[in-house]
Amino acid sequence: MTEKLTHFNEQGRAHMVDVTQKQATRREATAYAQIVMRAETMALIREGKMKKGDVLAVAQVAGIMAAKKTPEIIPMCHPLPLTKVDVRFEEGAVTGEEALLDLYATVATTYQTGVEMEALTAVTAAALTIYDMCKAADKGMTIREVRLEEKTGGKSGDFRREGGQ
Amino acid sequence: MTEKLTHFNEQGRAHMVDVTQKQATRREATAYAQIVMRAETMALIREGKMKKGDVLAVAQVAGIMAAKKTPEIIPMCHPLPLTKVDVRFEEGAVTGEEALLDLYATVATTYQTGVEMEALTAVTAAALTIYDMCKAADKGMTIREVRLEEKTGGKSGDFRREGGQ
Amino acid sequence: MTEKLTHFNEQGRAHMVDVTQKQATRREATAYAQIVMRAETMALIREGKMKKGDVLAVAQVAGIMAAKKTPEIIPMCHPLPLTKVDVRFEEGAVTGEEALLDLYATVATTYQTGVEMEALTAVTAAALTIYDMCKAADKGMTIREVRLEEKTGGKSGDFRREGGQ
Amino acid sequence: MTEKLTHFNEQGRAHMVDVTQKQATRREATAYAQIVMRAETMALIREGKMKKGDVLAVAQVAGIMAAKKTPEIIPMCHPLPLTKVDVRFEEGAVTGEEALLDLYATVATTYQTGVEMEALTAVTAAALTIYDMCKAADKGMTIREVRLEEKTGGKSGDFRREGGQ
Amino acid sequence: MTEKLTHFNEQGRAHMVDVTQKQATRREATAYAQIVMRAETMALIREGKMKKGDVLAVAQVAGIMAAKKTPEIIPMCHPLPLTKVDVRFEEGAVTGEEALLDLYATVATTYQTGVEMEALTAVTAAALTIYDMCKAADKGMTIREVRLEEKTGGKSGDFRREGGQ
Amino acid sequence: MTEKLTHFNEQGRAHMVDVTQKQATRREATAYAQIVMRAETMALIREGKMKKGDVLAVAQVAGIMAAKKTPEIIPMCHPLPLTKVDVRFEEGAVTGEEALLDLYATVATTYQTGVEMEALTAVTAAALTIYDMCKAADKGMTIREVRLEEKTGGKSGDFRREGGQ
């Protein structure tokens, strides 16, 4: 690790990195988050899905809209023309009284800088929305392991998390 | 746990819960997040702090501004007149090559509904900002354990996480 | 009708009306919109509902979030602490090849000014979202009859549209 | 009509359609809305225009700013670099006690996806702003016939409403 | 001047000051800005006013909308329920080739903290909008003397600029 | 000066100028602002910098985020993909009891229209944030001389303020 933090200007202050000279190429990133909740809470989410009330449908819209809001939330992020945002959910194992929910967000652009933060913001907003909609039943829910899973495109090359899916 | 999910209307669809009849009382909530990074990355953050470049200063502004943006990010959240937002950082233990950074966000209001989501949104935005500003050096950084630590005020009573600080 | 337009200051220019001296009372408003579409488009919406893909679920989130955005969209609107937002859909009659979808949005607050614009903005955003999600199939869809259905509270008294529900 | 709704991913959930591979071409769209009001209300608007107070000037700014906000209002819309936004008003016929006001919004871009929603959002925000500024005098005003008038560019070809201007 | 900067927490970091215990009282603030431009530019603005094109009408809407956006622009500002926003323009003296335009913005609330920043943000946004709309003709326009003119209400007492109007 | 104001359409109303046919070229702009404050206030800012509390760090984040918000604040501004935003501070001379602080903001893009307004908005938001964070100590602080310092790129050619740095 010989790289320096790139978010500081000559005064040692934070700035938005100059990407004017960088090449616009296709870039894609996938972020992952996991929620741990009571098995009973997961059952309520599932039940809601069977009626019209669908916690995950709301979380998904939240994730997609948050991806577009990333440069308003993360101060040094560039505003980007996103060409794709997708959010997916997978129920994980139930261990005793605990159930796991996996969230994935994939974002793409053709631009001079990547979309890692957009994917991370999307998956986090979706997870927080699930917390919000279930907190009356389960305040102890925890978001675990928000992380970048994979990214492609850009000068720094591809990244794939070790042990990632 | 006999409560039902409260975010659905008679059609079984999501709505913003009616809090018109609820009492405006003082409410406060504290959320917590932890970031796991390389020890070298933590050293870069510290070093930056010693110059004027200060990753945590940017993260803190991000957290405070995100708290105010909560109803734009979490679809069913009420817009609230926040009376206090504070974000704090604590360096945790360094274990071999891994270092831990603890983040806390405390938010207060005097209103008909609580500020758990505002605290969670603040702490998450601060953590994502740290990721953004260090990702050139350490793409494998992970946000871990985003959770509600404590809340006071409101009809559902106080909440303090078991084993919480 | 002897009232004057109240949105102009002494210079004859638009301003945000001073409501500082007005009483904070409970206010509620319901707005209505109708979409006319092909019967086939309505069938696609219904079908989507039976899978997990749910046009109306997305439209509902859009409506609720737009209600909160009203003072950013309508220049002279006051920022308001909304205490309730609800959006409802009702399939109307199918006449030959045309199908009707009715949308209702109800918003409440306890404040010095009313929430008519919030209800109208919510119902309109929901209708536009339905257009967006169905436009690949039916560009000719039309939003018809966006109007205030009813309002209660405030000094100007209650209003109920003649012939309204 | 054999097209399917394109806003759903493999899980049957809503997503932002991937336009990464689409061609960036010039696209333009015009949307139309009509407001029905009392003839007296129209007179007040006209009178305001003769002073400096100008309801339509405020509505026009609202429409232009709303066009830029479209991806924040319509969940599955892509953020777009708009290259033109224009809003126009035309007084229609007065029939007995009723007067008509026609609104047009034209939006252009050079991008991978069209600007129909931007034009529709602009014209709707302008119409709602007129309602807001006149509602003290005429709560019964109705927005009628919000629709896409015409679009050019893009793979799906040009569209011109039958019977449209 | 013995006061300390109040925007820092125990860690010496910026936070949003806790106003939970403060009294909600009526507060009002007026800010002032002056623009210096070529006399010819002022003539163009005036001329525009005589047609329907009205630079000041757009600037005024910009100022009012910016006042509502203050907590999104100024990081440590509390979100506030504004009860009044007004923007006024006064043509000042023409000295040789230079003309002066005075701008005033007045904002009111009943809340635990004041509206100085809202008034300053409004007047600044209005001034920048005038620059934007005239810059094709006069890039050398300068905004001068953005300042707080007067404030009333709140524990720190009233303030009136020495030599102010 | 023979140019006309370009922000008006055929109806004489404001519109967002059509830049569809313009060439996308590299454009950069630098804006300048100056704050006059008491020498004691400047000392407090400096002192804060030596601790972790750093008024200028917050102001800088505010400036960068405001640059991205420009099309939401200035009504006729195009939304732009900014490729660089930088904010710098320089302490000026202390004259008796008065101290000066110079602010510079530089913004770049590769697009069909320039970034003068983005640079001006950044520098103004940074200056207002300094006012906000010091106003408890010095309400008389004044922002002076907000102006465009320099711009390069675009059909209208380069601009450099006479007597500018």
Query: DSSP labels for B100-157?
Result: EEEEEEEEEEEESS--HHHHHHHHHHHHHHHHHHHTTT-TT-EEEEEEEEEEE-STT-
Chain D residues touching residue A80 (CB < 8 angstroms): 79
Question: What number does CATH give the domain D25-152?
Answer: 3.30.70.640
Beta strands in A42-141 (DSSP E): 82-95, 98-111
DSSP-derived 3-state class of residue A93 = strand
pLDDT score at A93: 83
Which residue numbers of B have CB closer than 8 Å to E's CBs? 26, 56-57, 60-61, 64-65, 67-69, 79-89, 108-110
Query: With bands split at pLDDT 50, 70 and 90, how would you rate the model's confidence at E1?
Result: very low
Report pLDDT digits (tens) over F34-65. Answer: 999 999 999 989 887 545 568 999 999 999 99
In chain E, what percentage of residues exceed pLDDT 70? 92
CA distance B7 to A75: 31
pLDDT score at B154: 85
CA distance D155 to A15: 40
Query: With bands split at pLDDT 50, 70 and 90, how would you rate the model's confidence at F118?
Result: very high
pLDDT score at A59: 96
Q: What is the mean pLDDT of chain D?
A: 90
* Mean per-residue pLDDT, F10-28: 89
CA-atom Rg of chain E in angstroms: 18
B64-94 in b/e form (b: 16+ CB < 10 A) is bbbbbbbbbbbbbbbbbbbbbbbbbbeeeee
CA distance C86 to C93: 23
pLDDT score at E2: 38
Chain E residues touching residue B87 (CB < 8 angstroms): 13, 15
In chain A, what percentage of residues exceed pLDDT 90? 72
Q: What is the mean pLDDT of chain C?
A: 90
pLDDT score at C125: 98
- Contact call for D79 and A68, based on CB within 8 A: yes
Beta carbons of C148 and C116 less than 8 angstroms apart: yes
Largest CA distance in chain E: 57
pLDDT score at D49: 59
Beta carbons of F51 and B54 less than 8 angstroms apart: no
pLDDT score at E7: 76
Q: Is the pLDDT of residue A4 over 90?
A: no
Find the residue in E nearest to F67 (Cα).
Answer: E73
- Contact call for A76 and F89, based on CB within 8 A: no
Give me the count of residues in chain D: 165
Q: Is the pLDDT of residue B99 over 90?
A: yes
Largest CA distance in chain D: 57
Beta carbons of D23 and D113 less than 8 angstroms apart: no
- Contact call for A13 and F84, based on CB within 8 A: no
pLDDT score at B32: 98
Interhelix angle E55-73/F55-73, rounded to 10 degrees, is 140
Q: Which residues of D are annotated as a binding site for substrate?
A: 76-78, 117-118
CA distance B13 to A53: 5
pLDDT score at A12: 79
* Mean per-residue pLDDT, D4-22: 82
Q: Is the pLDDT of residue E3 over 60?
A: no
Query: With bands split at pLDDT 50, 70 and 90, how would you rate the model's confidence at E57?
Result: very high
Annotated binding residue C77: yes
Q: Which residues of E are annotated as a binding site?
A: 76-78, 117-118
Give me the count of residues in chain F: 165
pLDDT score at D165: 47
Report pLDDT digits (tens) over E79-137. Answer: 999 999 999 999 988 888 999 999 999 999 999 999 999 999 999 999 999 999 999 88
* Mean per-residue pLDDT, D16-33: 93
- Note the CATH architecture for domain E25-153: 2-Layer Sandwich (3.30)
Task: Using the structure block, give the residue that is written with the tokens 């109705």.
Answer: D142
* Mean per-residue pLDDT, B89-112: 93
Beta carbons of A27 and A154 less than 8 angstroms apart: yes
CA distance E131 to E38: 12
Which residue numbers of F have CB closer than 8 Å to A's CBs? 26, 56-57, 60-61, 64-65, 67-69, 79-89, 108-110
Q: Checking phi first, is residue D102 left (phi over 0); if not, alpha (psi -120 to 50) or beta?
A: beta
Which residue numbers of E have CB closer than 8 Å to C's CBs? 26, 56-57, 60-61, 64-65, 67-69, 79-89, 108-110
Beta strands in chain C (DSSP E): 25-38, 82-95, 98-111, 142-152, 159-160
Q: Is the pLDDT of residue C96 over 70?
A: yes
CA distance C23 to C45: 44
* E82 vs D93, higher pLDDT: E82
Largest CA distance in chain A: 57
Task: Using the structure block, give the residue that is written with the tokens 């040789």.
Answer: E96
- Contact call for D79 and A83, based on CB within 8 A: no
Find which of F78, F86, F106 to mutate to test the A interface (most A CBs within 10 Å of its CB): F86
Report pLDDT digits (tens) over D114-133. Answer: 999 999 999 999 999 999 99
pLDDT score at E134: 93
Report pLDDT digits (tens) over A22-50. Answer: 989 999 999 999 999 999 999 989 887 54
- Contact call for D82 and F9, based on CB within 8 A: no
Query: With bands split at pLDDT 50, 70 and 90, how would you rate the model's confidence at B1?
Result: very low
CA distance F107 to F103: 13
Find the residue in F nearest to D89 (Cα).
Answer: F11
- What ipTM was reported for this prediction? 0.94
Task: Identify the CA nearest to B81 among candidates B70, B90, B73, B92.
Answer: B70
Check the CA dihedral C131-C134-C138-C144 and report its sign: negative
Question: What number does CATH give the domain B32-153?
Answer: 3.30.70.640
CB proximity list for F135: less than 8 A, separation 6 or greater: E116, E117, E148, F141
> Tokens representing E7?
């925007």
Catalytic residue check, A158: no
- CATH class name, domain A25-154: alpha beta
Give the one of B68, B83, B109 whose C-beta lies nearest to E71's C-beta: B68
Query: With bands split at pLDDT 50, 70 and 90, how would you rate the model's confidence at C164?
Result: low
Looking at the complex, report in whole angstroms how far the Cα of residue A12 sits from the nearest Cα belonging to chain D.
32
DSSP-derived 3-state class of residue C74 = coil
Task: Using the structure block, give the residue that is written with the tokens 């336009």.
Answer: D19
Q: Is the pLDDT of residue B20 over 80?
A: yes
CA distance A130 to B120: 12
Beta carbons of F14 and F101 less than 8 angstroms apart: no
Q: Which of C18, C54, C102, C132 is catalytic?
A: C132
* Mean per-residue pLDDT, F83-107: 93
Report pLDDT digits (tens) over A104-130. Answer: 999 999 999 999 999 999 999 999 999
Q: Is the pLDDT of residue C62 over 90?
A: yes
Task: Identify the CA nearest to C119 among candidates C1, C30, C28, C9.
Answer: C30
Break chain C into its structural domains and give their ranges. Answer: 25-152
Query: With bands split at pLDDT 50, 70 and 90, how would you rate the model's confidence at A103?
Result: very high
CA distance B115 to B121: 10
Which residue numbers of A have CB closer than 8 Å to C's CBs? 49, 52, 54, 57-58, 61-62, 65
Give the one of D69, D81, D83 whose C-beta lies nearest to F81's C-beta: D81
Task: Identify the CA nearest to B32 among candidates D40, F136, A144.
Answer: A144
Query: With bands split at pLDDT 50, 70 and 90, how would you rate the model's confidence at F165?
Result: very low
Q: Is the pLDDT of residue F103 over 70?
A: yes
Among A140-144, B34-38, B136-140, C62-66, the minimum mean pLDDT is found in B136-140
- Contact call for C148 and D139, based on CB within 8 A: yes
Residue E92 has a CB neighbour count (10 Å cut-off) of 14
**CA distance to B118, E111, F57, per residue, from B26 (Å):** 15, 15, 31
Q: How far is CA F70 from the centre of its chain?
A: 10
Catalytically annotated residues of F: 132
Degrees to nearest 5, angle at CA D21 with D17 and D26: 90
Beta carbons of B61 and E75 less than 8 angstroms apart: yes
Task: Identify the CA nearest to D121 among candidates C104, C143, E53.
Answer: C143
